[in-house]
Amino acid sequence: MKRSRDRAASELFAALYPRLAGWCRRLVDDDETAHEIASEAFTRLWARWTSVEEPRGFLYVTAANLVRDHWRKVERERRAVRRATTEAAVRPHTEQSDPSVRLLVQSLPERLRVPILLHYYADMPIREVSVLTGRKEGTVKADLHAARELLRVHLRRSLDPTL
């Protein structure tokens, strides 16, 4: 019985996964996210395999819910970025001689500050920072590099004023 159930699950996966992942891809416009959502839908189906009467419908409803959750998360992150950049712009600038890394990060231009905050403080991967900021991954990497170089120079000057 378990063997036939496993075989049925494998056949269902082979038949439906490519189409489900493609459908998700059109909804989220990102291959990796689409495959994550399709995989998660199948994982949830396997967890309820014996109680689901219509697996195809279950998969698509589950994927639709996961896509909705994805876009809600993206929008929350965008609002958080806007809020963080607005708060940083409103705060008075502190002296450059303060060796605090946090204060140095706040003093960076917005173009460099936002990727630093998202990547290092919010622990987001570069791909996600790219999506949130609307910049290419290479641009995000270059901005992170430029920001680190500026921070290094500022830290050296704050620790040794003779530089």
Nearest to 156 by CA among 88, 148, 117: 148
- All domains of the chain in start order, with CATH: 1-90 (no CATH), 99-162 (1.10.10.10)
pLDDT number for residue 120: 81
Let me know: does 16 contact 59? Beta carbons within 8 Å: yes
pLDDT number for residue 92: 52
pLDDT number for residue 43: 95
Write the pLDDT tens digit of every residue in 49-59: 889 989 998 99
Which SS3 state, helix, strand or coil, does residue 91 take? coil
CA distance 84 to 91: 11
CA distance 10 to 1: 14
Global pTM exceeds 0.75:
no
Which parts of the chain register pLDDT below 50?
A: 93-98
pLDDT number for residue 88: 62
CA distance 16 to 38: 10
Let me know: does 154 contact 104? Beta carbons within 8 Å: yes
Instruction: Catalogue the E-assigned strands of the chain.
Output: none
pLDDT number for residue 96: 45
